[in-house]
């Protein structure tokens, strides 16, 4: 028996089977039940999300021969259903808009459409990639859409709805197909693996589903290719190797070395990845992906509170295996959110530079070293607490100098103007003091208290300035600013 690719073998047959498009299936079922099926539909969405599948299910529902009227549960066994399933029914015509885009094809369609269907209730035209039609073809199509014969239905599918002219759109009922979540894709992949009786490691399914980027067809095709290797059980390592994806443990190792500010370790970890045959751009892409995961771990933890959603490595925003969650949680400790945001944007710029570089390896290594050695990667919270408590030796010195200041004579501070008060007030106080000799000792005491406050204010503002001007903090601030404004960091500043 000829081999059928899994994507075709496991194509959904009924409304209830179409995965990830429940609202659309529900609306269409309702339309059939109430006899309000539109004469033209526009199915929009990226590839592999179920547009053609849904179109075929709708066609079967309208034309199933085992019942007298459209049904929400087509039999999938009658001649009509079977023929529609393989796209070869005489009354359900599937047209590829990309290869039949001219006015002649549409004219021919119009001429055929006036004839009644051969054996079913409706003549249904499914036009895939309808946005590829020429303007003349669209206009010809418009004529029949304006006054379609009652036995004709149109189902247009497109990955680029913005290219479908508005006059066509306004005559269609539009449905936007959403991308399918990796979790739903993973469930389907597991079900297929079970039915195909293929051994696999549990950790394989989620990364595989994630690679499908929301497309069920892509996910199943990937699985098909993996199965064709003949290796069992299927593992993550096999997936990474087979698809030329970076080994996740090696990427984690590289990020760990950067987080540890280990220059030699960073270079060795990069070499380890490059030697597997990966391109520099692929490495940058993976780093972006993995750092995004760390950012999610970090920032969902920041907002920890009464919110019901799970936080940290358990966040629903992450598609990670148990082992990957553990690694991400460990690595997230080495970075702070600002540094991760900075590194992701820097890597995004880097990947463009890498594409145009004649020496991408040197560029990648230089950038990785910059990350590893840069204070960008120092945890700002730790740094600030070190500044406040003086626990770091380098920073401690500054604090020590600061702390000795209160011991210096108060008079040192008297000549300086009282910055926190308007000058006038300060002068007035002094005049009053001068005119009344009796209050002079009290005034001196007040002045003494004022200088204490003043000293405290000065110390605080000095401390603030010190923190802001600390090279490490400054680098982070400049980095953030450069990231936000898109201006590269000035090496001279
Ligand atoms: Zn049927």
- pLDDT given at position 194: 94
Distance from the alpha carbon of residue 192 to the mean position of ligand 1, in angstroms: 25
Distance from the alpha carbon of residue 82 to the mean position of ligand 1, in angstroms: 7
- pLDDT given at position 370: 87
Which residues are CB-neighbours of 294 under 8 A, at least 6 positions away?
A: 255, 328, 331, 332, 335, 340
Q: What angle do CA 101, 18, 20 make, to 5 degrees?
A: 95
% pLDDT > 90, the chain: 47
- pLDDT given at position 424: 41
Across the chain, mean pLDDT equals 80
- pLDDT given at position 432: 44
pLDDT over 50 (residue 491): no
- Two tokens at 219? 């996910």
- pLDDT given at position 276: 86
- pLDDT given at position 354: 93
pLDDT over 50 (residue 488): no
**Cα dist. 73→21, 69, 76 in Å?**
17, 11, 9
pLDDT over 80 (residue 492): no
- pLDDT given at position 371: 87
Distance from the alpha carbon of residue 216 to the mean position of ligand 1, in angstroms: 25
- pLDDT given at position 376: 46
Give phi and psi for 91, each to the nearest 5.
-95, -15
Residue scoring higher pLDDT (470 or 314): 314
Q: What is the mean pLDDT of residues 432-451?
A: 46
**Helix extents (H) in 334-407:** 337-355, 360-373, 380-389, 393-404
Which of 11-25, 210-224, 439-453 bottoms out in mean pLDDT, i.e. has the lowest?
Answer: 439-453
Q: What is the mean pLDDT of residues 243-272?
A: 90
Give phi and psi for 255, each to the nearest 5.
-65, -40
Distance from the alpha carbon of residue 75 to the mean position of ligand 1, in angstroms: 4
Distance from the alpha carbon of residue 13 to the mean position of ligand 1, in angstroms: 11
Distance from the alpha carbon of residue 34 to the mean position of ligand 1, in angstroms: 20
pLDDT-derived band at 154, boundaries 50, 70, 90: very high
pLDDT digits (tens, 9 = 90+) for 186-228: 999 999 999 999 999 988 898 899 889 899 999 999 999 999 8
Given the structure tokens 């880097």, which residue do they identify? 350
Distance from the alpha carbon of residue 58 to the mean position of ligand 1, in angstroms: 12
pLDDT-derived band at 485, boundaries 50, 70, 90: very low
Distance from the alpha carbon of residue 80 to the mean position of ligand 1, in angstroms: 6
Decide: 420 and 454 in contact? Cβ < 8 Å: yes
pLDDT over 80 (residue 165): yes
Distance from the alpha carbon of residue 173 to the mean position of ligand 1, in angstroms: 25
- pLDDT given at position 308: 52
- pLDDT given at position 414: 39
Which of 33-37, 379-383, 428-432 bottoms out in mean pLDDT, i.e. has the lowest?
Answer: 428-432
pLDDT over 90 (residue 129): yes
| Residue 227 half-sphere exposure toward CB, CA atoms < 13 A | 20
Distance from the alpha carbon of residue 56 to the mean position of ligand 1, in angstroms: 12
Q: What is the mean pLDDT of residues 137-163?
A: 92
pLDDT digits (tens, 9 = 90+) for 350-406: 999 999 999 999 999 999 998 888 754 455 566 666 666 655 444 433 333 344 444
Q: What is the mean pLDDT of residues 97-103?
A: 86
pLDDT over 60 (residue 112): yes
Q: What is the mean pLDDT of residues 49-65?
A: 95
pLDDT-derived band at 467, boundaries 50, 70, 90: low
Distance from the alpha carbon of residue 290 to the mean position of ligand 1, in angstroms: 48
Distance from the alpha carbon of residue 26 to the mean position of ligand 1, in angstroms: 20
Distance from the alpha carbon of residue 2 to the mean position of ligand 1, in angstroms: 24
At residue 7, the 3 state secondary structure works out as helix
Sheet architecture: strand order including 123-128: 92-96, 123-128, 152-158, 40-44, 173-176
Q: What angle do CA 389, 394, 399 make, to 5 degrees?
A: 45
Distance from the alpha carbon of residue 59 to the mean position of ligand 1, in angstroms: 10
Distance from the alpha carbon of residue 61 to the mean position of ligand 1, in angstroms: 8
% pLDDT > 70, the chain: 74
pLDDT over 80 (residue 342): yes
Q: Answer whether 0.85 is exceeded by the pTM.
A: no
**Cα dist. 389→128, 386, 394, 401, 482 in Å?**
66, 5, 12, 14, 30
- pLDDT given at position 408: 41
Sign of torsion, CA 410 413 414 418?
negative
pLDDT-derived band at 478, boundaries 50, 70, 90: low
Distance from the alpha carbon of residue 298 to the mean position of ligand 1, in angstroms: 53
């Amino acid at each position: 028996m000829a081999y059928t690719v899994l994507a075709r073998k496991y194509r959904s047959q009924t409304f209830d089977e179409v995965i990830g498009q429940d609202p659309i299936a529900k609306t269409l079922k309702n339309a059939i039940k109430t006899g309000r099926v539109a004469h033209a539909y526009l199915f929009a969405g990226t590839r592999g999300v179920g547009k053609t599948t849904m179109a075929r299910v709708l066609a079967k529902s309208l034309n199933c021969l085992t019942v007298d009227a459209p049904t929400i549960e087509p039999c999938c066994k009658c001649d009509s259903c079977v023929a529609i399933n393989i796209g070869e029914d005489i009354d359900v015509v599937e047209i590829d808009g990309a290869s039949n885009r001219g006015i002649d094809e549409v004219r021919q369609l119009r001429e055929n459409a006036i004839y009644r269907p051969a054996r079913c209730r409706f003549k249904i035209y499914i036009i895939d990639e309808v946005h590829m039609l020429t303007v003349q073809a669209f206009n010809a199509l418009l004529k029949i859409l304006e006054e379609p014969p009652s036995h004709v239905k149109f189902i247009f599918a497109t990955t680029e709805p913005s290219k479908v002219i508005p006059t066509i759109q306004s005559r269609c009922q539009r449905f936007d197909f959403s991308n399918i979540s990796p979790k739903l894709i993973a469930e389907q992949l597991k079900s297929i693996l079970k039915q195909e009786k293929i051994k696999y490691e549990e950790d394989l399914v989620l990364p595989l589903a994630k690679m499908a980027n929301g497309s069920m067809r892509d996910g199943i095709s990937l699985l098909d290719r993996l199965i064709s290797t003949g290796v069992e059980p299927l593992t993550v390592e096999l997936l990474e190797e087979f698809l030329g994806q970076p080994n996740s443990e090696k990427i984690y190792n590289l990020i760990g070395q950067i987080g540890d500010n280990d220059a030699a370790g960073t270079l060795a970890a990069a070499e380890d990845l490059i030697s597997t045959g990966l391109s520099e751009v692929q490495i940058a892409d993976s780093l972006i992906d993995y750092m995004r995961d760390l950012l999610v771990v970090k920032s969902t933890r920041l907002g920890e509170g009464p919110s019901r959603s799970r936080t940290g490595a358990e966040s629903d925003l992450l598609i990670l295996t148990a082992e990957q969650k553990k690694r991400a949680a460990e690595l997230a400790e080495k970075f702070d959110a600002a540094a991760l945001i900075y590194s992701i944007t820097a890597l995004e710029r880097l990947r463009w530079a890498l594409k145009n570089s004649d020496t991408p390896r040197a560029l990648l290594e230089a950038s990785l070293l910059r990350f590893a050695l840069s204070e960008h990667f120092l945890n700002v919270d730790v740094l600030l607490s070190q500044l406040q408590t003086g626990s770091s030796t380098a920073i401690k010195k500054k604090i020590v100098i600061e702390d000795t200041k209160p011991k210096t004579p108060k008079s040192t501070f008297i000549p300086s103007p009282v910055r926190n008060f308007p000058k006038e007030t300060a002068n007035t106080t002094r005049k009053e003091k001068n005119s009344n000799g009796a209050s002079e000792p009290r005034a001196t005491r007040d002045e003494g208290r004022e200088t204490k406050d003043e000293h405290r204010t000065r110390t605080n503002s000095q401390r603030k300035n010190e923190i802001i001007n600390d090279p490490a903090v400054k680098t982070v601030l400049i980095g953030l600013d450069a990231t936000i404004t898109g201006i590269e960091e000035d090496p001279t500043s």
